[in-house]
Amino acid sequence: MKMNTPPVSPDPVMEGENEDIDIGDIEEVIELDDNTDLNEAADRLIGPSEDEQIGDSEEAESNTDMAALIFSKHKGSVFTCCISPTGSIAASGGEDDLAYVWDIISGNIIFTCTGHKDSVTQVCFSHDGTLLATGDYGGYIQVWKLATSTKIWEFEIGDLGWMTWHHGSHVLLAGTEEGEIWMWLVPQGNTRTFPSFGTASQCGTFMQDGKRGASGYEDGSVRVFDLKSGQVLQQWGGETTQAGSVVSLATHKDNTLVIAGSIDGSARLLNTNNGKVVGCLNCVVEDSTEGENEEGQDHTVEAVTFCPFIPNIAVTSTLAGFVTFWDISSQVSRHVLAQGCGSSQLAWHPSEPILFSAGLDGVSRSYDARSGEPLAKYSGHSQSVLALDIARDGSVLLSSSDDGTVRVFKLT
Protein backbone atom coordinates (compact mmCIF):
# COMPACT_ATOMS: atom_id res chain seq x y z
CA MET A 1 0.00 0.00 0.00
CA LYS A 2 1.29 3.46 -0.77
CA MET A 3 1.46 5.06 2.63
CA ASN A 4 3.16 8.27 1.52
CA THR A 5 0.17 9.76 -0.26
CA PRO A 6 -0.54 13.21 1.25
CA PRO A 7 -4.04 13.79 2.64
CA VAL A 8 -6.38 15.23 0.06
CA SER A 9 -8.53 18.18 1.07
CA PRO A 10 -12.28 17.55 0.79
CA ASP A 11 -13.05 18.50 -2.77
CA PRO A 12 -16.45 17.69 -4.28
CA VAL A 13 -16.09 16.79 -7.89
CA MET A 14 -19.73 16.29 -8.85
CA GLU A 15 -22.70 18.62 -8.79
CA GLY A 16 -25.18 18.54 -5.92
CA GLU A 17 -22.86 17.42 -3.11
CA ASN A 18 -23.58 20.41 -0.89
CA GLU A 19 -27.24 19.56 -0.38
CA ASP A 20 -28.28 17.81 2.85
CA ILE A 21 -29.47 14.25 2.56
CA ASP A 22 -33.20 13.85 3.06
CA ILE A 23 -33.03 11.13 5.68
CA GLY A 24 -36.70 10.47 5.03
CA ASP A 25 -35.69 8.92 1.73
CA ILE A 26 -33.61 6.42 3.65
CA GLU A 27 -36.31 5.65 6.21
CA GLU A 28 -38.87 4.97 3.49
CA VAL A 29 -36.59 2.35 1.97
CA ILE A 30 -35.75 0.63 5.25
CA GLU A 31 -38.40 -1.44 6.97
CA LEU A 32 -36.54 -3.68 9.40
CA ASP A 33 -38.24 -6.77 10.76
CA ASP A 34 -38.86 -6.18 14.48
CA ASN A 35 -40.55 -9.57 14.89
CA THR A 36 -37.40 -11.66 14.87
CA ASP A 37 -37.46 -13.82 18.00
CA LEU A 38 -33.80 -13.93 18.98
CA ASN A 39 -34.48 -15.97 22.10
CA GLU A 40 -36.21 -18.62 20.04
CA ALA A 41 -33.22 -18.79 17.72
CA ALA A 42 -30.91 -19.13 20.68
CA ASP A 43 -32.98 -21.94 22.25
CA ARG A 44 -32.96 -23.80 18.96
CA LEU A 45 -29.28 -23.51 18.14
CA ILE A 46 -27.26 -23.10 21.31
CA GLY A 47 -26.11 -26.11 23.26
CA PRO A 48 -25.07 -26.36 26.90
CA SER A 49 -22.32 -23.95 27.92
CA GLU A 50 -18.86 -25.48 27.95
CA ASP A 51 -15.83 -24.68 30.10
CA GLU A 52 -13.18 -22.46 28.56
CA GLN A 53 -10.79 -24.40 26.42
CA ILE A 54 -7.70 -23.57 24.44
CA GLY A 55 -7.22 -25.43 21.20
CA ASP A 56 -3.88 -26.93 20.29
CA SER A 57 -1.72 -25.07 17.79
CA GLU A 58 -2.44 -26.11 14.21
CA GLU A 59 -0.10 -28.39 12.31
CA ALA A 60 1.88 -26.92 9.43
CA GLU A 61 -0.39 -26.27 6.47
CA SER A 62 0.06 -28.38 3.39
CA ASN A 63 0.76 -26.80 0.02
CA THR A 64 -2.49 -28.15 -1.40
CA ASP A 65 -4.35 -25.50 -3.35
CA MET A 66 -8.06 -26.04 -2.70
CA ALA A 67 -9.23 -23.12 -4.84
CA ALA A 68 -11.78 -23.79 -7.56
CA LEU A 69 -10.62 -20.64 -9.37
CA ILE A 70 -7.67 -18.23 -9.07
CA PHE A 71 -7.97 -14.61 -10.19
CA SER A 72 -4.44 -13.30 -10.78
CA LYS A 73 -4.81 -10.07 -12.76
CA HIS A 74 -3.66 -7.79 -9.93
CA LYS A 75 -0.04 -6.70 -9.60
CA GLY A 76 0.90 -6.64 -5.92
CA SER A 77 -1.18 -7.22 -2.79
CA VAL A 78 -4.96 -7.51 -3.11
CA PHE A 79 -6.32 -5.66 -0.09
CA THR A 80 -10.05 -6.14 -0.52
CA CYS A 81 -12.65 -8.36 -2.18
CA CYS A 82 -16.40 -8.92 -2.15
CA ILE A 83 -19.14 -10.95 -3.81
CA SER A 84 -22.22 -9.36 -5.36
CA PRO A 85 -25.59 -10.20 -3.75
CA THR A 86 -26.38 -11.95 -7.04
CA GLY A 87 -23.55 -14.38 -6.30
CA SER A 88 -22.21 -14.39 -9.85
CA ILE A 89 -19.90 -11.38 -9.77
CA ALA A 90 -16.86 -10.55 -7.64
CA ALA A 91 -14.88 -7.35 -7.16
CA SER A 92 -11.34 -6.88 -5.88
CA GLY A 93 -8.97 -3.98 -5.28
CA GLY A 94 -5.24 -3.84 -4.83
CA GLU A 95 -1.84 -2.25 -4.63
CA ASP A 96 -1.84 -1.67 -8.38
CA ASP A 97 -4.37 1.22 -8.00
CA LEU A 98 -7.00 -0.87 -9.79
CA ALA A 99 -10.26 -2.59 -8.97
CA TYR A 100 -11.61 -5.37 -11.14
CA VAL A 101 -15.15 -6.64 -11.56
CA TRP A 102 -15.09 -10.23 -12.74
CA ASP A 103 -17.14 -13.37 -13.25
CA ILE A 104 -16.82 -15.63 -10.23
CA ILE A 105 -17.31 -18.80 -12.29
CA SER A 106 -15.01 -18.18 -15.27
CA GLY A 107 -12.69 -15.54 -13.82
CA ASN A 108 -13.22 -13.35 -16.90
CA ILE A 109 -12.96 -9.60 -16.32
CA ILE A 110 -16.28 -7.81 -16.80
CA PHE A 111 -14.76 -4.34 -16.50
CA THR A 112 -11.83 -2.55 -14.87
CA CYS A 113 -12.28 0.32 -12.43
CA THR A 114 -9.59 2.79 -13.45
CA GLY A 115 -8.86 6.32 -12.31
CA HIS A 116 -7.68 5.60 -8.79
CA LYS A 117 -4.52 7.38 -7.71
CA ASP A 118 -3.48 5.07 -4.88
CA SER A 119 -3.93 1.51 -3.63
CA VAL A 120 -7.58 0.45 -3.75
CA THR A 121 -8.36 -0.57 -0.17
CA GLN A 122 -12.18 -0.68 -0.27
CA VAL A 123 -14.65 -2.35 -2.63
CA CYS A 124 -18.27 -3.03 -1.69
CA PHE A 125 -21.54 -3.78 -3.48
CA SER A 126 -24.76 -2.01 -2.58
CA HIS A 127 -27.47 -4.03 -0.84
CA ASP A 128 -29.24 -4.80 -4.14
CA GLY A 129 -26.07 -5.50 -6.11
CA THR A 130 -26.71 -2.77 -8.69
CA LEU A 131 -23.84 -0.49 -7.61
CA LEU A 132 -20.19 -1.00 -6.68
CA ALA A 133 -18.23 1.50 -4.60
CA THR A 134 -14.42 1.55 -4.86
CA GLY A 135 -12.16 3.65 -2.68
CA ASP A 136 -8.41 4.15 -2.58
CA TYR A 137 -6.12 4.94 0.34
CA GLY A 138 -5.81 8.58 -0.77
CA GLY A 139 -9.58 9.08 -0.42
CA TYR A 140 -10.78 9.02 -4.04
CA ILE A 141 -14.14 7.19 -4.15
CA GLN A 142 -15.96 6.06 -7.30
CA VAL A 143 -19.33 4.35 -7.73
CA TRP A 144 -19.99 2.11 -10.72
CA LYS A 145 -23.26 0.89 -12.21
CA LEU A 146 -23.04 -2.84 -12.85
CA ALA A 147 -25.67 -2.96 -15.58
CA THR A 148 -23.71 -0.58 -17.81
CA SER A 149 -20.16 -1.06 -16.44
CA THR A 150 -19.85 2.71 -16.12
CA LYS A 151 -18.89 5.19 -13.43
CA ILE A 152 -21.90 7.20 -12.24
CA TRP A 153 -20.47 9.17 -9.28
CA GLU A 154 -17.19 10.21 -7.70
CA PHE A 155 -15.94 12.17 -4.70
CA GLU A 156 -12.61 12.98 -3.08
CA ILE A 157 -11.98 13.17 0.67
CA GLY A 158 -8.98 12.78 3.00
CA ASP A 159 -7.09 9.51 3.49
CA LEU A 160 -9.73 6.78 3.59
CA GLY A 161 -10.04 4.62 6.70
CA TRP A 162 -13.21 2.63 5.95
CA MET A 163 -16.31 2.63 3.76
CA THR A 164 -19.66 0.81 3.82
CA TRP A 165 -23.09 0.85 2.16
CA HIS A 166 -26.37 1.27 4.01
CA HIS A 167 -28.11 -2.11 4.29
CA GLY A 168 -31.31 -0.95 2.60
CA SER A 169 -30.63 2.06 0.37
CA HIS A 170 -27.99 3.66 -1.84
CA VAL A 171 -26.41 5.63 0.98
CA LEU A 172 -22.65 5.40 1.40
CA LEU A 173 -20.75 6.08 4.64
CA ALA A 174 -16.98 6.56 4.97
CA GLY A 175 -14.46 7.61 7.62
CA THR A 176 -11.10 9.33 7.21
CA GLU A 177 -7.72 9.46 8.88
CA GLU A 178 -8.47 13.11 9.67
CA GLY A 179 -11.46 11.93 11.73
CA GLU A 180 -14.26 13.22 9.50
CA ILE A 181 -17.15 10.95 8.51
CA TRP A 182 -18.93 11.48 5.20
CA MET A 183 -22.35 10.29 4.04
CA TRP A 184 -23.72 10.48 0.49
CA LEU A 185 -26.93 9.64 -1.31
CA VAL A 186 -25.76 8.00 -4.56
CA PRO A 187 -25.91 8.93 -7.40
CA GLN A 188 -27.80 12.13 -6.50
CA GLY A 189 -24.67 13.28 -4.66
CA ASN A 190 -26.40 14.80 -1.63
CA THR A 191 -23.73 15.04 1.06
CA ARG A 192 -23.57 15.22 4.84
CA THR A 193 -20.42 15.48 6.93
CA PHE A 194 -19.90 14.64 10.58
CA PRO A 195 -17.12 16.66 12.19
CA SER A 196 -13.73 15.37 13.25
CA PHE A 197 -12.89 15.05 16.93
CA GLY A 198 -9.20 15.43 16.30
CA THR A 199 -8.44 11.74 15.97
CA ALA A 200 -8.62 9.25 13.07
CA SER A 201 -11.85 7.35 12.42
CA GLN A 202 -10.47 3.84 11.96
CA CYS A 203 -13.63 1.72 11.70
CA GLY A 204 -17.33 2.34 11.39
CA THR A 205 -20.71 0.99 10.40
CA PHE A 206 -24.43 1.65 10.24
CA MET A 207 -26.50 0.56 13.22
CA GLN A 208 -29.15 -2.06 12.51
CA ASP A 209 -31.99 0.50 12.60
CA GLY A 210 -30.42 2.28 9.62
CA LYS A 211 -30.88 5.64 11.33
CA ARG A 212 -27.66 5.76 13.35
CA GLY A 213 -23.98 5.23 12.66
CA ALA A 214 -21.08 4.18 14.90
CA SER A 215 -17.35 4.76 14.63
CA GLY A 216 -14.21 3.77 16.53
CA TYR A 217 -11.30 6.19 16.82
CA GLU A 218 -7.55 6.15 17.20
CA ASP A 219 -7.69 7.66 20.69
CA GLY A 220 -9.75 4.71 21.96
CA SER A 221 -13.10 6.46 21.82
CA VAL A 222 -16.34 5.18 20.27
CA ARG A 223 -19.23 7.37 19.16
CA VAL A 224 -22.79 6.69 18.01
CA PHE A 225 -24.40 9.48 16.00
CA ASP A 226 -27.78 10.26 14.51
CA LEU A 227 -27.63 10.23 10.71
CA LYS A 228 -30.40 12.81 10.29
CA SER A 229 -29.31 15.48 12.75
CA GLY A 230 -25.59 14.67 12.99
CA GLN A 231 -25.85 14.75 16.79
CA VAL A 232 -23.56 12.49 18.82
CA LEU A 233 -25.98 10.33 20.82
CA GLN A 234 -23.46 8.34 22.87
CA GLN A 235 -19.75 8.67 23.45
CA TRP A 236 -17.25 6.51 25.29
CA GLY A 237 -13.90 8.11 25.98
CA GLY A 238 -10.63 6.31 25.39
CA GLU A 239 -8.49 6.93 28.43
CA THR A 240 -10.86 5.92 31.22
CA THR A 241 -12.06 2.59 29.88
CA GLN A 242 -9.87 1.56 26.96
CA ALA A 243 -6.56 3.24 26.33
CA GLY A 244 -5.79 1.51 23.06
CA SER A 245 -6.80 2.62 19.60
CA VAL A 246 -10.10 1.10 18.38
CA VAL A 247 -9.50 -0.88 15.19
CA SER A 248 -12.59 -3.12 14.89
CA LEU A 249 -16.30 -2.56 15.44
CA ALA A 250 -19.54 -4.53 15.05
CA THR A 251 -23.21 -4.00 15.91
CA HIS A 252 -25.69 -6.51 17.33
CA LYS A 253 -28.98 -7.48 15.70
CA ASP A 254 -30.84 -6.16 18.75
CA ASN A 255 -29.86 -2.63 17.70
CA THR A 256 -28.47 -1.93 21.18
CA LEU A 257 -25.05 -3.51 21.63
CA VAL A 258 -21.79 -2.51 19.96
CA ILE A 259 -18.50 -4.36 20.38
CA ALA A 260 -15.25 -2.44 19.89
CA GLY A 261 -11.86 -4.15 19.60
CA SER A 262 -8.63 -2.40 20.57
CA ILE A 263 -4.89 -2.66 20.05
CA ASP A 264 -4.47 -3.17 23.82
CA GLY A 265 -6.01 -6.65 23.67
CA SER A 266 -9.44 -5.72 24.99
CA ALA A 267 -12.92 -5.50 23.51
CA ARG A 268 -15.67 -3.38 25.02
CA LEU A 269 -19.38 -4.23 24.97
CA LEU A 270 -21.29 -0.94 24.80
CA ASN A 271 -24.99 -0.19 25.26
CA THR A 272 -25.96 2.43 22.68
CA ASN A 273 -29.26 3.24 24.37
CA ASN A 274 -28.08 4.16 27.87
CA GLY A 275 -24.39 4.78 27.19
CA LYS A 276 -23.17 2.18 29.67
CA VAL A 277 -20.13 -0.02 29.28
CA VAL A 278 -21.70 -3.47 29.58
CA GLY A 279 -18.32 -5.14 29.98
CA CYS A 280 -14.69 -5.25 28.93
CA LEU A 281 -13.45 -8.55 27.49
CA ASN A 282 -9.81 -9.43 28.06
CA CYS A 283 -8.69 -11.03 24.81
CA VAL A 284 -5.06 -11.55 25.87
CA VAL A 285 -4.53 -15.30 26.15
CA GLU A 286 -1.61 -16.75 28.08
CA ASP A 287 0.53 -19.03 25.95
CA SER A 288 0.03 -22.43 27.54
CA THR A 289 3.24 -23.76 25.99
CA GLU A 290 5.36 -21.03 27.53
CA GLY A 291 3.41 -20.46 30.73
CA GLU A 292 3.47 -16.73 30.13
CA ASN A 293 2.75 -14.19 27.46
CA GLU A 294 5.39 -14.04 24.78
CA GLU A 295 7.46 -10.87 24.94
CA GLY A 296 6.40 -8.38 22.30
CA GLN A 297 3.42 -10.41 21.11
CA ASP A 298 0.75 -8.32 19.35
CA HIS A 299 -2.62 -8.80 21.06
CA THR A 300 -4.49 -6.33 18.86
CA VAL A 301 -8.16 -7.33 18.54
CA GLU A 302 -8.16 -7.10 14.77
CA ALA A 303 -11.70 -8.39 14.21
CA VAL A 304 -14.92 -8.57 16.23
CA THR A 305 -18.42 -9.82 15.43
CA PHE A 306 -21.74 -10.93 16.92
CA CYS A 307 -23.21 -14.28 15.94
CA PRO A 308 -26.34 -13.55 13.86
CA PHE A 309 -27.89 -16.92 14.78
CA ILE A 310 -27.10 -17.18 18.50
CA PRO A 311 -27.62 -13.70 19.94
CA ASN A 312 -25.72 -14.33 23.17
CA ILE A 313 -22.39 -14.99 21.40
CA ALA A 314 -19.70 -12.49 20.44
CA VAL A 315 -16.39 -13.39 18.79
CA THR A 316 -13.00 -11.70 18.90
CA SER A 317 -9.78 -12.54 17.05
CA THR A 318 -6.31 -11.21 17.80
CA LEU A 319 -3.09 -10.83 15.88
CA ALA A 320 -1.55 -13.13 18.51
CA GLY A 321 -3.55 -15.95 16.91
CA PHE A 322 -6.51 -16.56 19.24
CA VAL A 323 -10.17 -16.72 18.23
CA THR A 324 -12.45 -16.45 21.26
CA PHE A 325 -16.19 -17.13 21.47
CA TRP A 326 -17.75 -15.14 24.34
CA ASP A 327 -20.98 -15.54 26.29
CA ILE A 328 -22.33 -11.99 26.27
CA SER A 329 -24.49 -12.32 29.38
CA SER A 330 -21.71 -13.61 31.64
CA GLN A 331 -18.81 -12.12 29.63
CA VAL A 332 -17.01 -15.43 30.03
CA SER A 333 -15.24 -17.15 27.16
CA ARG A 334 -17.01 -20.26 25.88
CA HIS A 335 -14.26 -21.41 23.53
CA VAL A 336 -10.70 -20.16 23.02
CA LEU A 337 -9.07 -21.45 19.85
CA ALA A 338 -5.34 -21.22 19.21
CA GLN A 339 -5.44 -20.64 15.47
CA GLY A 340 -1.67 -20.46 15.14
CA CYS A 341 -1.80 -17.13 13.30
CA GLY A 342 -3.64 -13.85 13.49
CA SER A 343 -6.89 -13.08 11.68
CA SER A 344 -7.47 -10.11 9.40
CA GLN A 345 -11.24 -10.55 9.16
CA LEU A 346 -14.18 -12.63 10.44
CA ALA A 347 -17.33 -13.47 8.45
CA TRP A 348 -20.44 -15.60 9.00
CA HIS A 349 -22.07 -18.20 6.81
CA PRO A 350 -25.40 -16.68 5.67
CA SER A 351 -27.61 -19.49 7.00
CA GLU A 352 -25.54 -21.52 9.47
CA PRO A 353 -23.81 -20.65 12.78
CA ILE A 354 -20.43 -21.12 11.11
CA LEU A 355 -17.65 -18.55 11.45
CA PHE A 356 -14.92 -17.99 8.85
CA SER A 357 -11.54 -16.52 9.75
CA ALA A 358 -9.02 -15.00 7.31
CA GLY A 359 -5.62 -16.26 8.44
CA LEU A 360 -2.40 -14.30 8.17
CA ASP A 361 -0.70 -17.60 7.33
CA GLY A 362 -2.57 -17.73 4.00
CA VAL A 363 -5.26 -20.17 5.17
CA SER A 364 -8.93 -19.41 5.85
CA ARG A 365 -10.68 -21.53 8.48
CA SER A 366 -14.24 -22.25 9.57
CA TYR A 367 -15.56 -22.97 13.07
CA ASP A 368 -18.86 -24.15 14.57
CA ALA A 369 -20.15 -21.35 16.81
CA ARG A 370 -22.08 -23.79 19.00
CA SER A 371 -19.23 -26.13 19.89
CA GLY A 372 -16.16 -24.12 18.91
CA GLU A 373 -15.09 -27.08 16.79
CA PRO A 374 -12.80 -26.37 13.81
CA LEU A 375 -14.61 -27.49 10.67
CA ALA A 376 -12.47 -26.86 7.58
CA LYS A 377 -9.40 -25.14 6.15
CA TYR A 378 -9.17 -23.42 2.78
CA SER A 379 -5.55 -23.35 1.64
CA GLY A 380 -3.82 -22.14 -1.50
CA HIS A 381 -2.56 -18.63 -0.78
CA SER A 382 1.20 -18.32 -0.29
CA GLN A 383 0.93 -15.18 1.85
CA SER A 384 -1.48 -13.53 4.31
CA VAL A 385 -5.22 -13.50 3.60
CA LEU A 386 -6.23 -9.84 3.80
CA ALA A 387 -9.97 -10.08 3.16
CA LEU A 388 -12.72 -12.63 2.61
CA ASP A 389 -16.40 -12.75 1.73
CA ILE A 390 -19.11 -15.42 1.59
CA ALA A 391 -21.76 -15.69 -1.14
CA ARG A 392 -25.31 -15.08 0.08
CA ASP A 393 -26.31 -18.62 -0.80
CA GLY A 394 -23.37 -20.02 1.18
CA SER A 395 -21.88 -21.80 -1.82
CA VAL A 396 -18.62 -19.89 -2.24
CA LEU A 397 -15.82 -18.38 -0.16
CA LEU A 398 -13.77 -15.57 -1.71
CA SER A 399 -10.38 -14.51 -0.29
CA SER A 400 -7.73 -12.00 -1.34
CA SER A 401 -4.10 -12.03 -0.33
CA ASP A 402 -0.71 -10.38 -0.16
CA ASP A 403 0.32 -12.93 -2.79
CA GLY A 404 -1.47 -10.89 -5.48
CA THR A 405 -4.34 -13.32 -6.07
CA VAL A 406 -8.02 -13.73 -5.25
CA ARG A 407 -9.13 -17.31 -4.75
CA VAL A 408 -12.60 -18.83 -5.00
CA PHE A 409 -13.35 -21.84 -2.77
CA LYS A 410 -16.46 -23.96 -2.99
CA LEU A 411 -18.17 -24.59 0.33
CA THR A 412 -19.93 -27.82 1.23
C-alpha 275/C-alpha 269 separation (Å) is: 11
| CA–centroid distance for 242 within its chain | 21
DSSP string, 176-221: ETTS-EEEEETTTTEEEEE---SS-EEEEEE-TTSSEEEEEETTS-
Instruction: Identify whether the C-beta of residue 343 lies closer than 8 Å to the C-beta of residue 360.
Output: yes
C-alpha 139/C-alpha 177 separation (Å) is: 9
Beta bridge partners of 173: 164, 183
Query: Over 80: is that where the pLDDT of 240 sits?
Result: no
- What pLDDT sits at residue 260? 97
pLDDT band at 270, cuts 50/70/90?
very high
pLDDT, tens digit, 9 for 90 and up, residues 95-111? 999 999 999 999 999 99
Query: Over 80: is that where the pLDDT of 18 sits?
Result: no
pLDDT, tens digit, 9 for 90 and up, residues 175-232? 999 999 999 999 999 999 999 999 999 999 999 999 999 999 999 999 999 999 999 9
Q: Which CATH class is domain 23-288+296-410?
A: mainly beta
- What pLDDT sits at residue 295? 59
C-alpha 406/C-alpha 68 separation (Å) is: 11
pLDDT band at 237, cuts 50/70/90?
confident
Instruction: Identify whether the C-beta of residue 365 lies closer than 8 Å to the C-beta of residue 374.
Output: yes
C-alpha 354/C-alpha 292 separation (Å) is: 31
| CA–centroid distance for 14 within its chain | 28
